[in-house]
Amino acid sequence: MISRRSSAALLLVFCLFFGCGKNLAQVFFHVSVDQRAKESLSGTIRVPTPLSLSDPSSFRFAVFGDVQIRAENKNMLTTFKNEVTDRNIDFFVVLGDLTEDGNNQELADIKSDLDQVGVPYYATIGNHDLFQANPSGGWESWKSTFGAATYSVTLGNAVRLILLDTSSGNIGATQFKWLENQLKTQAPFTLVGSHYPVNDGSGPSIWRLESVEERYKLTSLLDRYGVYAYLGGHVHGYREGRVGNILHLTIGSMYPYALDFGTRGYVLFQYERGNLTWERIDLGA
């Protein structure tokens, strides 16, 4: 088992040989996941609220990640806006890495672009949004732009969406305690989403949650409480699979540059009078 200290040392060696494109201070001195979660759950920053759906018995929503805009603000949201119209999507969810560097300008740009899609949305933070030149700046900028990164909403009294902050690769004790309390309250369909996958369908991977203990604990909670699906981003590609009875989707990327594999796209969910179904929407290379 690799300790957090060993992981940090390995990351340092990796950066020295291959380059990380970041100041290492951004990685090692950011605000901890427990502090971020406590602030998100404190009631002192904005928390998104459930939508007022025109038909709570029938609605559609999309989930994707990694828009990851840079200074030139190149993104796939114009294409997605057409999808919203063509497929009658009621709202959408973005699972982190909205920006490349998490600075104020990128966050302002992506918020403006997301707002212009024309339907409500929910978002949580990713590693690119968290880590920037000022070690605490990514989180401070995120809070002022989007508010909480850990929260839960229920749509149409049927679909509960629980979003976690895994932007530093871990969940932490505060979120685990809160998550279990959330899961104890039953809902017809519960979706748990965060930036990092638990299992990306390809075996051991450095791109999933870093702690073996956290992966097992989270998988156990999802199974114990009958969660419908766990949704993760981070990987610039799409995979699907099951761990026990739980569906795991690495949801796919809206990254406008070269992908890790596959094609761009998103996952489309449809709730229809007591049933929840999903499909992968492929937007091409």
The β-bridge relationship of strands 229-232 and 238-243 is unpaired
pLDDT beyond 50 at 217: yes
81, amino acid identity: K
Domains along the sequence of the chain with CATH = 1-30 (no CATH), 31-284 (3.60.21.10)
**Once rounded to an integer, what is the mean pLDDT over residues 231-236?**
94
pLDDT beyond 80 at 4: no
**Once rounded to an integer, what is the mean pLDDT over residues 141-168?**
96
Write out pLDDT tens, residues 106-131: 999 999 999 999 999 999 999 999 98
> What is the C-alpha to C-alpha distance for residues 226 and 46, in angstroms, rounded to an integer?
29
Residues 158, 114, 241, 205, CA torsion sign: negative
Instruction: Give the pLDDT confidence score for residue 228 in this predicted structure.
Output: 97
Show the tokens assigned to 92.
């959408």
Write out pLDDT tens, residues 62-107: 999 999 998 888 889 999 999 999 999 999 999 999 999 888 899 9
